[in-house]
Amino acid sequence: MNYIYFALLTVVCWGTYGVCMHIGSSNMADKENGRIMAFLWVGLAYFLTAVVAPLIILKLKGGNIAFWSYPTKGWQWSLIAGTLGAIGALGVLLAFGKMPSPAYVPVIMSIIFAGAPMVNAIVSTTKENNWGNVKPLFLLGIALAAGGGYLLTKHAPKPTGPPPPAKAEKS
């Protein structure tokens, strides 16, 4: 069951992803371009984590680092997956730019993290042609994810009045 540990690692990383992304983008001190600059830094982190680290690991393990020598179907689908991930990260930042206040970060992330498993379940089941094997509890799980996402979105703690006045900075 080692896969559970890796799944939980992903939960922690992705669960803190939105908060960190919002903090980073809002601290860029550029209302117009700060979110895109934050996306650029996310891309740099992806490059270091997903390009440099695997090359080092492959080299240390004696693996083939000539990525063009792998089957076309494998690298094409992996490239599509990476593109979808990057577009999703951009979507998070663009959503942050449209939210009325930072209190809406949990709302945005709840929509994403409740919606993504539902999309995954539907796409995976369709791809594997497994609709004939679907049990009612699977459908209940999708409904509960939708309901949970709705409840988190509808009842997330949000400010009720006008924002507090900004504190004057000390010089």
62 and 146 within one domain: no
Q: Which residue has the tokens 């999708």?
A: 142
pLDDT of residue 12: 92
Residue 166 is assigned to a structural domain of this protein: no
Residue 107 is assigned to a structural domain of this protein: yes
Q: Higher model confidence: residue 38 or residue 65?
A: 38
Supply the pTM of this predicted model: 0.77
HSE on the CB side for 30, CA within 13 Å?
8
- pLDDT, tens digit, for every residue of 116-125? 888 999 999 9
C-alpha distances in Å from residue 135, one per residue of 118, 123, 128, 131: 15, 16, 15, 9
Q: How far apart are CA 12 and CA 16, in angstroms?
A: 6
65 and 43 within one domain: yes
For the chain, the maximum distance between any two Cα atoms, rounded to a whole number of angstroms, is 68
Domain range for 106 is: 102-158
Closest CA to 93 of 41, 168, 169: 41
78 and 3 within one domain: yes
121 and 86 within one domain: no
Residue 94 is assigned to a structural domain of this protein: yes
Band the pLDDT of 36: cuts 50, 70, 90: very high
Q: What is the mean pLDDT of the chain?
A: 87
Under a CB-based contact definition with an 8 Å cutoff, are residues 92 and 108 in contact?
A: yes
Q: How far apart are CA 146 and CA 110, in angstroms?
A: 10
Residue 171 is assigned to a structural domain of this protein: no
129 and 88 within one domain: no
